[in-house]
Amino acid sequence: MKKFLLSFGLSALFLGALAQDNAKPVGGTGPQISLDKEVHDYGTIANGANGTCEFIVTNTGDQPLIITNCKGSCGCTVPKCDTAPIKPGAKTTITVKYDTKRPGPINKSVTISSNATNAPEKVVRIKGTVEAGPETPASPVKEQSPMAPVEKTN
């Protein structure tokens, strides 16, 4: 009985070690997306100023990363991304242009879709405030002359 238990124990130990050798390492397998920042803060920006910012994407995995789409949350936020495969360890830049002719707060997002195993859809944000633009002269309002006759209604 002791021999049986000893053989069984050794077999289980051997099989456990073998299973660990065949297991894939955790993290780093497949394409992995990593960004230099999650949020770009414009702070307070002048009306009509250059509203372009950049997000640096790095492939921290061991297979090529392919960005399939970049989509802004509205028409005022236009991202540009390269869809060419990014080799492991390589970087690419996603450029986002915001229309700064819209005064007021900025709080928009860009969704990055890829084949990354750690985050197939990654959302980055832009925020800040666009100052009010130059005031346009108001059209003159015609005032009624104090001497104009007033219509009477019965």
Determine whether 122 is exposed, middle or buried from the number of CB atoms within 10 Å of its CB (0-12, 13-18, 19+): buried
**pLDDT band with cut points at 50, 70 and 90 for residue 146:** low
Print the SS3 string covering 47-88: CCCCCEEEEEEEECCCCCECEEEEEECCCCEEEECCCCCECC
For residue range 20-47, what is the model confidence (pLDDT) as tens digits? Answer: 434 344 444 899 999 999 999 999 999 9
Residue at 110: amino acid letter: V
Check residue 24 and give its pLDDT: 41
Residue at 148: amino acid letter: A
Between strands 33-35 and 52-59, the pairing is: antiparallel
Distance CA 13, CA 93 (A): 49
Asked whether the predicted pLDDT for residue 63 surpasses 90, the reply is yes
Check residue 134 and give its pLDDT: 74
Sign of CA dihedral 8, 10, 15, 16: positive
Check residue 135 and give its pLDDT: 66
61 token code pair: 């995995």
Counting Cα atoms < 13 Å in the Cβ hemisphere of 59 gives: 23
Helix ranges, the chain (H): 2-22
140 token code pair: 């003159």
Residue at 70: amino acid letter: C
Average pLDDT score over the chain: 82
Total count of residues recorded for the chain: 154
Q: What's the predicted TM-score (pTM) here? A: 0.69
For residue range 92-140, what is the model confidence (pLDDT) as tens digits? Answer: 999 999 999 999 999 999 999 999 999 999 999 999 999 998 765 554 5
